[in-house]
Every structure is written in C-alpha cells, then in structure tokens.
A and B are shown apart, each in its own frame.
Chain A
C-alpha cells in the first residue's frame, strides 16, 4: 500500500493529527478519492494550492500520475519562482 505523509499542521486540521496514512490506489486520482472517503472534504483541501510529490518527484497537476504499492506520497504547497 502507498504511504501518504501529511505535514503536521495540515494533519491537525484535517485528519485529527494523523500524519501517515496507508492507501491502496493505482493512481493519484483514485488515491485522492480514497482519502476523501476516509476524511470527507480532504480532496478539496488538497486540490487547491497543493502539489504532490510521488516517490520524490514533484507534480503540480498530477491527476493521472501512477502510484505504486510502495510509493511514498507527500503533499506540499505549489512551488513557483521568480
């Protein structure tokens, strides 16, 4: 199962403080759906202003990105630049 790791302040507000979640999903979209079923409304919070890193690679718009059974998934603010 893929491991989803949330920052502690985000987890405090959305998952009752749980920062590590195990999710069975094959792509990012289905992973988000699973999380939203578990924590209703979470998908909306993760969908605005958040990028996702899957196995170390950061994707700003990852809807179809594959998630492996051993993947590590992080949510982080969207990164821009000058």
Chain B
C-alpha cells in the first residue's frame, strides 16, 4: 500500500478502547488478582545492608513454624555460569539475572533478596521471615557513579574486568565496560569551531513509577509442568527466564499475561516469578507474591543516575563542527546500564561530520538498573540539548532555528554509522515554530525552553492469529501485553484490512500456549511489529475469504476481489452474483473447507526512527526556587497514528514522566547506603494538580517500512523534557541549570550562588 496517499476507514479514528469498561469497573484482572485453591502467601527476606557478604543463612526456625510450607534460598535456583547469551531485549547474562532475583554469596544493595518463604497466611509468613537468621559481614559500599569509578572504591565483583578496552585490564574494577562511537576527525572538527561549549551535567536515578507493583501467582502441576499468572511486559520473556533460572524446559512453563498497570520498561525482567515457582515446586501448592511499594523502590530497576560531559563546537553562523560526549551511567549491582544507548542517540538529531561518544557502564550498590522508556537517551539528550541552548544564547540565534540549521534528514549519517531512513525531525521543528505556543508572550520570572529527542524504535519477532467466527465476527490474538493501547490498534488494523466494522473485531492477548512467540512489549515495537503481523494475518484471512467465495460462486479465486468487507466477483457472464459479506462466507465455512483463520509469525524489519520537539514554559519563584510548569507542548513525528487519542496519551505520559525526572525525582540515601524515601509520599512524582494540560501535535511522516506508515511512539516523548524544562528554567533565571532534579532547594542554591558570584 502506498501509505503517503492512503486513505483509511478505521485507522486514524478514535474509538472507545476495548479494555476500558473492564478497567473502570474493576473487572480487569491484574497480577495480584488471581486466586487459586490452597494458595499460599509468599514473602521475600531482603538485605538490610547496601553491601555485605552472606556468611550463612539459617532457615530452620522459620521452616519449623506451623503454617510455613516452603523456604528457598539461592541454593534452590540453578547455579548458572557467567556467560553472555542472546535473550531478551539485549545480550543477557543469566547468572546476573539469577543473582539479582536472589543473592548467593553477597548482598549488593539494600533490599536485595536473600531468601523467600511461603506460608498459609500473611501473618505467619511475616513471622517466619523474622525467624530467618542471616549472618552478614557488612562491607563498604558505593552509590555514586564517579565514586564507584575511583581507584580504591569498594569493589562489587572481584571478577569484573572492564570490557571494550585494549589492552584488557589486569585488575578488576566497577567499570563493567566502555563503548565508543566515532565519526570523522574530532580534533579537526574542534579546530574548525569558532565557539565551543563545554559543560558537565548530572542526572539522578529515577524509578519507572508504575502504579501496579510486581505480582505473581504460580503453581506446579503433578506432572512437573507449571503455570504462572503475572503482570509483565512479555509472557514469553517470563517463560524463558524462569525456565533458565529453575533448570526447566521452556515447554514445561505456561505464562498467562495479566492486565498490566504500567511498566515503562520496568517489567522487562523477572523478580518474583522464579521465587514463586521455586516455592510452589517445594510446597506442592500455588503461591502468590506481591511487592510492596517499598520493595519496588529498593529492589526493582530504576534507570541510571549519570554524569554527562558534553563538548560542542560550532561556527558563528551556528553550523555544528564537532561534538563529543562522555557518558558515565550507573548500572546498579550488575553490568548493563544503557550508557551505550545514550551515546548512540544524543547527537542523532543533528548533522555532525566529526563526533565521538565514550560510554562507561559502571556498577554500584543500587538495584540493577532496568529499562525506562528510551533507556539511556534522556540523560544524553539533557546534556546535548542544554549545550545547544547555551550555544544558541551565545550566538544570539533562535534555538529552533539553530536546530533547523543542523537538523538530520534522510541520509544523514549517525554517530553509530548507519544513515537515517525517511524521518520527520525537520517537520517537528517547523511545527514547533508555527505553534502559537512558541510566539506567546512570557511574563516576569518566566522562561521558555526548547529541546528535541530521538529514539530508534525497533521491530523483531511477533505473531498474530485471526479467527473468523461462524457469525462473521473476528478474533485477533496477539502475544504482547497491552501497555499503551495496542489491543485497540491491533483490532483497528485488522478491521481496516478486512473492511469490517471495528465492533465485530475482538482483540485478545494470548498466553504462551495460545499464540506463537512474540518478543517483549518494549522498544516502541508492538503497534509497528505486531501490527505488521496482524496486517499480514488479516491479508491471509482475506485470501481465504476470496477462495471460499470463489468456491461458492464456482469461479477461480483470482476472479474474486475483496473490497470494503465484501467479496465481489469480477467474472462477467449471464449469471448475476451479488457480493458476499464476510458473515455470509463465514456461515458457509463448514461447507467450503472448514474454519477460516490466518496465522502469521514474522521477524519485523523496517522500524521507523522517531523524533520529537518539546516546548516548555516555566515560572520560577525567586524566593523559594519553586518551578511551575505553565505551558507544555509535545510535538512528534508518529508516522501514522492508528488511534490518535492513544498516541497523544503516549506523548503526554512521556512528557509528564520527563518533567518529574527534571524537577523532583531522586533517591535519597543515608550514610549506610539505605534508601530514605521508598514511598510515593517522599519520592515526589508529578500528579495532575502539578501540571497544565500537556498539548500535543502529531506530525505524520509515514514510515515506508510499515504498510500503514506506523512508527513507534512510546519512547521518544520522554527524551526531550529533561532539557526542555532545564532550558526554560535557565532562561527564566539567567542561571544555567546542569544538575537534576531542579527541586526548590537546588534552584534556590543555584540562584544564591549566582548572586554571590556576581
């Protein structure tokens, strides 16, 4: 389909969401809602220390308590070798996954699981947990990324040697790896520069903040097979990881996806699931485990805290000549921060002939970092987009014009080497310039910030099945949890191809036994990749419908066309053949060859990169340092919006999470490395009353790699806000903000420092 000129009947409309009624009436079943006969309560015993050697664990008293049915430690999971293999979102070391689920020899952060048990009641489980005696040898700890890199810093892993450097280091360190990307000749680029901006920036680790905590119900059958009900971003991921950690075959585990109350990347790994399975295996009874909010903050993956250094060179007319970034990202307790993704994304919105990124992946005594919307990109963009804003001020050039002058287009070579395909970055900048927001007047103590952002978006393996029911209604089964409205978009794309009313299409998320493998919901891939599978399954279904109509008319299949939900016969003779509806063909399916269905599994390529540009107005109270967002507009190239209201919601959600990151969110630790603010009262995320309505503009530059032009949309909108807000505060106050969060005490301190300096 030539999607540039395509007109659509269903795509681009805003129908009521298919899962909405169940969710607002409380019928939707989330991870914690499952009840099974004889189910036990599972709890986790966690380390009170940020770093400690586990000398011994005595579970005898707990095991002897009446009502306790099972107690597990790391000894109940497979002691896996340390090796990198292809697995989930990225290369994965399953030993690290296992050690993060439950500590074996060392506890590496406060909240690290050291044991788990299952009992007949919550009270008994809590009492038993208190009876587990762990003998710790407390070790020095390190939290901050720069401190963790210093020589002599407390070492988390004595066998961790930095990868990516030559020669290979002789001594272990907390630097797990170094990745470089380079383009051209950096020295030449800076030699050509007439202006150079060089700054250091810091961001704090922030949590994904999903409302629903991790929760699981698991049971073993008498035949050794297991079933798991849980909220995750991938039922196939949970199945694979659990099988690996428990030494089971993948086919022995069935994972049934629950509704998910937010993930944002934080549910792309396992925490409780292997423990619940191990407890069920030991006890022979179903086990349910639910994290508290405190557990979430102490033991599940936030994104990295970072130290970012940017050097930007330009001509006086604003043309960029060189860019260099040095990124140091906290990985948490095990290697695997998204530093390299920051290096790959930060400069991508711009044309650079000479550029370089050096990315450090650093372990420290914090929970292992997990993906968070466009992992790694917002922190790098904070540095790059802040430096660009400062450059615009120095050169007295409008910040949008400066970006337009250097904007990447199709064919621009990125720092990671690949040339960009068709993209709509320039279109987002033009839309920002034309938006009334950009020309609206500002009042006293107010400032306007501009920032842009990029995310790759990915494809990958996806499966879809379409079943035509006897009455002509249609089931669409896919294998990806619906986090951002994918059920609606799957149904809409199927209805578009089939040419039928959306009300006749029912989307379902299949479990691991009901639909073929699908990669996780992540990377902004589902509407693109699984949508492509749905479209192909619908096209296969149409081919069958044409064949069945041909049989009913006794003509050849190529004499039947499918148009607007009807089979039309193209043969011209003395016979009159009225078009068949899908329902008429379905009703006769038994007589024409049996049930009609389309099943497709693909490895989707052709994902279209996404760019966004955000405008932010703030007002800063000079007495208190408080920052108020007074207007915010998120503009993004979305390729083609299947359900525009959902897409707008993605832009608004990403912007709000980014604003929280910019203004308030941070983990506060005491001197022992223990978290002080492990709840939403003290970990300050934005709420509705903190913000104005987030305005959105959907720019549609269709992705030629998708039949309808879809690009992923869920991650780009969290990339620009950190810098958009910082640039607005910097312009409102006249003081450059380089450290997040810009909480009132921090802003006030910066204003006071500036006053003192002047």
A12 to chain B, nearest CB (A): 5
In the complex, chain A residues whose CB is within 8 Å of the CB of B455: 81
Asked whether any CB of chain B lies closer than 8 Å to the CB of A37, the reply is no
Asked whether any CB of chain B lies closer than 8 Å to the CB of A38, the reply is no
Asked whether any CB of chain A lies closer than 8 Å to the CB of B434, the reply is no
Which residues in chain B, 428-458, are within 8 Å of chain A measured between CB atoms? Answer: 455-458
A79–B264 alpha-carbon span in the complex (Å)? 16
Q: Are A78 and B375 in contact (CB under 8 A)?
A: no
> By DSSP majority rule, is chain B's interface helix, strand, loop, or mixed?
loop
The 8 Å CB contact of B180, one of A7, A57, A81, is A7
Give per-residue flags for B80-98: 1 if the beta carbon is below 8 A from chain A beta carbons, else 0.
Answer: 0000111011110000000
Given contacts A53-B418, A57-B421, A57-B606, contact A81 B375 (CB under 8 A): yes
Asked whether any CB of chain A lies closer than 8 Å to the CB of B603, the reply is yes
Which residues in chain A, 25-82, are within 8 Å of chain B measured between CB atoms? Answer: 48-49, 53, 56-61, 72, 74, 76-82
Residue of B nearest to A74 (CB): B417
In the complex, chain B residues whose CB is within 8 Å of the CB of A56: 418-421
Given contacts A78-B90, A81-B374, A81-B715, contact A53 B417 (CB under 8 A): yes
In the complex, chain A residues whose CB is within 8 Å of the CB of B375: 80-82
Asked whether any CB of chain B lies closer than 8 Å to the CB of A23, the reply is no
In the complex, chain B residues whose CB is within 8 Å of the CB of A12: 166
Asked whether any CB of chain A lies closer than 8 Å to the CB of B497, the reply is no
B703 to chain A, nearest CB (A): 12
A2–B65 alpha-carbon span in the complex (Å)? 69
Interface residues on A, range: 20 to 34
In the complex, chain B residues whose CB is within 8 Å of the CB of A60: 458, 460
Q: Are A61 and B91 in contact (CB under 8 A)?
A: no
In the complex, chain B residues whose CB is within 8 Å of the CB of A78: 86, 89-91
Q: Are B340 and A77 in contact (CB under 8 A)?
A: yes
Q: Are B182 and A8 in contact (CB under 8 A)?
A: yes
A80–B340 alpha-carbon span in the complex (Å)? 11
In the complex, chain B residues whose CB is within 8 Å of the CB of A57: 421, 605-606, 705
Asked whether any CB of chain A lies closer than 8 Å to the CB of B506, the reply is no
- Among the stretches B110-118, B518-526, B544-552, B664-672, the one at the interface with A is B518-526
B314 to chain A, nearest CB (A): 24
A56 to chain B, nearest CB (A): 5
Given contacts A58-B456, A61-B603, contact A80 B421 (CB under 8 A): no
In the complex, chain B residues whose CB is within 8 Å of the CB of A80: 88-90, 268, 371, 375, 458, 522-523
- Scoring A53, A57, A81 by chain B CB atoms within 10 A of each residue's CB, the highest score goes to A81
In the complex, chain A residues whose CB is within 8 Å of the CB of B661: none
In the complex, chain B residues whose CB is within 8 Å of the CB of A72: 419
In the complex, chain A residues whose CB is within 8 Å of the CB of B265: 81-82
Which residues in chain B, 247-265, are within 8 Å of chain A measured between CB atoms? Answer: 263-265
Residue of A nearest to B416 (CB): A76
Residue of A nearest to B341 (CB): A79
In the complex, chain B residues whose CB is within 8 Å of the CB of A8: 180, 182
- Known contacts A13-B164, A80-B458, then 15 further A-B pairs from the complex at CB < 8 Å, ordered by chain A residue: A5-B417, A7-B180, A8-B180, A48-B91, A53-B418, A72-B419, A77-B90, A78-B86, A79-B456, A80-B90, A80-B371, A81-B456, A81-B525, A82-B263, A82-B374
State the 8 A-B residue pairs at the shortest beta-carbon distance, nearest first: A82-B265, A81-B523, A80-B89, A49-B91, A9-B180, A82-B371, A74-B417, A82-B373
Q: Please name 30 pairs of A and B residues whose Cβ atoms are closer than 8 Å in the assembled complex, sorted by A.
A: A7-B180, A7-B182, A9-B164, A9-B165, A9-B178, A48-B85, A49-B86, A49-B90, A58-B458, A60-B458, A60-B460, A61-B603, A74-B417, A76-B416, A76-B417, A76-B418, A77-B340, A77-B344, A78-B86, A78-B89, A78-B91, A79-B456, A80-B90, A80-B371, A81-B371, A81-B374, A81-B455, A81-B457, A81-B525, A81-B715
